[in-house]
Amino acid sequence: MTAFECVRQTFTTAILCLLVGAVGIGSVIAASPRITIETPLSPPAWALLERELLRANAAACREFFEKYFDERGFLLCVERWGGDDGPDDAIENCLDWPILHALGADDDVLELYKQAWEGHLRQYTLARTVDVPFARDGMYYKEFPVMMDWLHNGEGLVVFNLQGLSDPTDARFGQRVKRYAGFYLNEDPGAPNYDPEHKIIKSLFNGSRGPLMRKATGLDWAGDPIEVENRFRPKHGETSYAQMIEHFKDYNDIVGDHPQNLQATTLALNAYALTHDDKYKRWLLEYVDAWRERMLVNGNIIPTNIGLDGTIGGETGGKWWGGVYGWGFSVYDPASKQVAHRNRHAAGFQGFMNAYLLTGNDRYLDPWRKQLDTINANKKIVDGKTLYPHMHGADGWYDYRPDKYTDNALELAYLSMQADDAARGPANGWITYLGGKNPGYPEQALRGDLNHVRDRVAAMGNDSTTPDTRLADDPMEYNPASVTSLIELMLGGVHPGRSGSILFCRLRYFDPESRRAGLPEDVAALVDELTAERVSVTLSNVNQLESRKVIIQAGGYGEHQFGAVTVGDTTTPVDGPHVAIELEPGAGARLSFTMKRHVHRPTMSFPWDQP
């Protein structure tokens, strides 16, 4: 039987056949079922909107790059170190560009991102501080931040950590993935960030030059002195450098571990998905397991300081709520002239999400479920209104608000697929749509993102800043990439946010003819059912003259397994992580898959490269 021959049996809505060979598809796909869809489907509005949103996003990103980057990939701005404005903000201007390409946008989106990333590494390796001691020889060292907290390290990795979706075979990407993870596996003697005995990352400030083992100063956080008035408009609202220093004057207690550091596990997860070297998985689970045990010991609340001796609150006088960005971190904000509550413990859930992706074990979700319940159980009634705490200090719970504590509730419900977890979070239009209600959500969400692209491009045209009056985070408000609706509707996934997370999604797509990630030209996809054991998606080929081929993968990294697929009245076994689809001109159909989740090692390899 040749590559183009197969026996077809016609059904009402599709023709199912066994794929024994196809040009551009490797042996792993040849062993999977192939579905040829012939049923005409007039292009639905959502399908046309998806294709237009991909096109508009790509065009807008080109315009953004031309305005704010030079030919080297350097961001046209004043380079600074700091938590107010720093290297992380510079590359965060390309937030969502790798995902945009992995969804199916034009190849130049990936090329522009890579140009920006290479330029970014060079630009901030050359950039040096005068007064901040640890960045005097470069803000980056070995192509990684010298030492900073993971609120900012994570933001600086929002694009790199997703490059593997589209470009896993890039040699420099592979070297960096392993080097970055090695900073936390103690493979670099100059970066002893991790203590394997106590299973801690030793400081809130850590990076390629290791941990900062002293109290931090306002200078460490705010960066070198800079002219502000009549020149810059810092995003925190300061009007002088003195206010920038004052903003960070109480950001001192950084020694010891903090939940934010769990974001570093994404480096190990990427290295594992790229290499399948078990050392990365072992370290990730060891570190997350240690934090899980601390939550259980601490009454189902994650502590925000772990001492160098491994004890809860060990560097903050035994206060589990202590430390910078801790449960009790309420500080004076000079810009607003009010006390600001800056508890950032929720970032730690990223590490538990990574552990869950590797294992599918609910033991990594249950502590956070209990944390939600424990905090909200401390509600109180004031003037007939129920108020819920969001902070904790020496006098107990405080910062009571009318809204429940719901940090990470959406992600928890997405991973567990349990109804009671969904009930723990606030109302969500996408979740409501998946529940069979709010049928207009897809069009509303897609149109909303299209409006967002248009508005950002219009605002960018009115931006009168010049490179010498522009801070690194100034262009961020004009970054046009708008992909939340596409992630939800095409992939059945949740947006990774701004913390350097990987992509958690139920389906991904690959173009076997162009040999790239993403939906092929003219193809649209709409996920309308998502449960623990099922996912249903409608595919549409809006091209009325040409057929299209697409490979569907179970999970963002092939971690799931398709059981069977039903098209119309016919069910066909799949028993693998991929299925090949051919859409005849103007054709479309709804495919309903049974699925087992988290049964395969996550991989960055494309389907035709997998063994």
pLDDT at 154 (0 to 100): 98
pLDDT at 24 (0 to 100): 40
pLDDT level of residue 507 (50, 70, 90 thresholds): very high
Tell me: the pLDDT tens digits for 557-578?
Answer: 999 999 999 999 999 999 999 9
pLDDT level of residue 30 (50, 70, 90 thresholds): low
Rounded CA gap, 582 and 549, in Å? 4
The alpha carbon of residue 445 and the mean position of all alpha carbons in its chain are separated, in whole angstroms, by 19
What integer is the mean pLDDT of 256-279? 98
Of the candidates 442, 452, 448, 445, which has an alpha carbon nearest to the alpha carbon of residue 61?
A: 452
Residues ≥6 apart with Cβ < 8 Å to 133:
none
Of the candidates 321, 448, 285, which has an alpha carbon nearest to the alpha carbon of residue 393?
A: 321
The answer, yes or no, to whether residue 251 has pLDDT greater than 80, is: yes
- Taking the C-alpha atoms of 590, 593, 598 and 602 in order, what is their torsion angle to the nearest 10 degrees? -50
Decide: 489 and 465 in contact? Cβ < 8 Å. Answer: no
Tell me: the pLDDT tens digits for 337-360?
Answer: 999 999 999 999 999 999 999 999
Decide: 43 and 540 in contact? Cβ < 8 Å. Answer: yes
pLDDT at 32 (0 to 100): 74
pLDDT level of residue 236 (50, 70, 90 thresholds): confident
Q: Where are the alpha helices (DSSP H) in 183-253?
A: 218-222, 241-247
Residue 509, both tokens: 């797509």
CA separation, residue 454 to residues 103, 440, 448, 516 (Å): 20, 21, 10, 28
Residue 598, both tokens: 């988290």
Decide: 401 and 390 in contact? Cβ < 8 Å. Answer: yes
SS3 content of the chain, % helix, strand, coil (to 5): 35, 20, 45
- Identify any residues that bridge with 33 across adjacent strands, giving them in sequence order: 18
What integer is the mean pLDDT of 281-295? 98
Of the candidates 233, 222, 246, which has an alpha carbon nearest to the alpha carbon of residue 334?
A: 246
Tell me: the pLDDT tens digits for 381-415?
Answer: 999 999 999 999 999 999 999 999 999 999 999 99
Pairing of strands 330-333, 338-341: antiparallel
Determine the 3-state secondary structure of 362 from DSSP. helix
Half-sphere exposure of 233 (CA within 13 A, CB side): 7
Rounded CA gap, 610 and 603, in Å? 8
Of 477 and 1, the one with more pLDDT: 477
Rounded CA gap, 171 and 221, in Å? 34
The answer, yes or no, to whether residue 12 has pLDDT greater than 70, is: no
Residue showing tokens 């009115």: 462
pLDDT at 362 (0 to 100): 98
Q: Where are the alpha helices (DSSP H) in 251-387?
A: 265-275, 278-297, 349-359, 366-376
pLDDT at 9 (0 to 100): 31
Pairing of strands 578-583, 33-37: parallel
Decide: 30 and 22 in contact? Cβ < 8 Å. Answer: yes
pLDDT at 1 (0 to 100): 33
Of the candidates 155, 149, 337, which has an alpha carbon nearest to the alpha carbon of residue 251?
A: 149
What integer is the mean pLDDT of 595-599? 98
Burial class (CB in 10 A: 0-12, 13-18, 19+), 7: exposed
Angle between helices 349-359 and 278-297 (to 10 degrees): 130
